[in-house]
Amino acid sequence: MEDATKEIQEKMKQTWFIFTLCILLSQTASLMLLISYVLPTPQDNDIIWIFKLIHVYFPQWESLLVWCLIKPTICILCYLGISVPAFAIYYYNGHISLQIYMLKHYLQNINSNASSTNYHQEVNKRLLFCVRSHTRLVKCGFKILRHAQIYVLPYRILGIAFMAGLVLLCFTVCQYFRLAGHAVTATTTLVGCAVSGQGIEDLSPEIAEAVCEVDWCDWDQPNKRIYLIFLTSTNKVFKIKYSDNISLNYSLGIEITKAVFSAMSIIYSLQRQKMN
């Protein structure tokens, strides 16, 4: 068990190194981005529509509303909207990955060091423990998905608005420091979430493989029946799915990247047509 624990620790260190790197880059870029929006620029009224509304309808309260209400609200919402959901995804996916590694180790050693006198009883206890662990793992995954699906529609809208603002900022206003902050924050968050989701999707079949490789030939009939039920319940690959067509994996990241570049190419083509 100690050797297995060291092996699992090494695997988790590699996983959490990627997550930590994404978090540090995302947090640094987010902080720079928030500072850039706190510092005023002459083009703020043209970029942020609420600044324009306040300037037009509440000119006498403009400084108070912008500095005491709007800019702090933007900072809080940016942090809660970008960083906090990504942290939650990293944490839950890392926790599920650890449980999968542990369950795989137990399955690979289910017959190890079992006494000859109470062999079937010990195997039964270990097998039931693996079944319960897998059941808890699946329940935990579906519970996370059930809670996450509540936020799918709001984050779709926010994501579309964020990407649209990023593309428009790129071609309409030359504020490259804000553009760089948006790009780094979005990229690191997307990469971290895609890597964590793909990791769960890649680890899930390993449980089924470990179950198939179990040496069950010497078991008694009750243990074989439990094993057969367990085998059928581990065939389905677990994915972090927000809907029937959306899963958190590399494919989602690629599709989002394609959509952003497609939007940028369309706007660039329209700008060239206007210039000609």
Residue pLDDT, tens place only, 175-223: 667 777 777 777 777 777 787 778 788 888 888 888 888 888 888 899 8
**pLDDT computed for residue 209 by the predictor:** 87
The reply to whether 25 falls in a domain is no
The reply to whether 193 falls in a domain is yes
Q: State the CB neighbour count (10 A cutoff) for residue 40.
A: 12
CB–CB of 143/237 below 8 Å?
no
**pLDDT computed for residue 175 by the predictor:** 65
Residue pLDDT, tens place only, 121-169: 888 898 999 999 888 888 877 777 777 667 666 666 766 666 666 666 6
Domain that residue 96 falls in: 2-18+84-110+117-275
* pTM given for the model: 0.71
The reply to whether 213 falls in a domain is yes
Provide the number of structural domains found in the chain: 1
Give the confidence band of 2 by pLDDT, cuts at 50, 70, 90.
Answer: very low
Q: How far apart are CA 89 and CA 188, in angstroms?
A: 13
Residues 6+ apart with CB under 8 A from 206: 100, 104
The reply to whether 217 falls in a domain is yes
HEC sequence for 148-176: HHHHHHHHHHHHHHHHHHHHHHHHHCCCH
Q: How high is the mean pLDDT of the chain?
A: 76
Question: In 48-147, where do the E strands start and end?
Answer: none
The reply to whether 31 falls in a domain is no
The reply to whether 149 falls in a domain is yes
The reply to whether 28 falls in a domain is no
Q: How far apart are CA 241 and CA 239, in angstroms?
A: 6
Length of the chain: 276
**pLDDT computed for residue 138 by the predictor:** 82
How much is the CA Rg of the chain, to the nearest whole Å?
25
The reply to whether 244 falls in a domain is yes
For residue 11, give both structure tokens: 């695997």
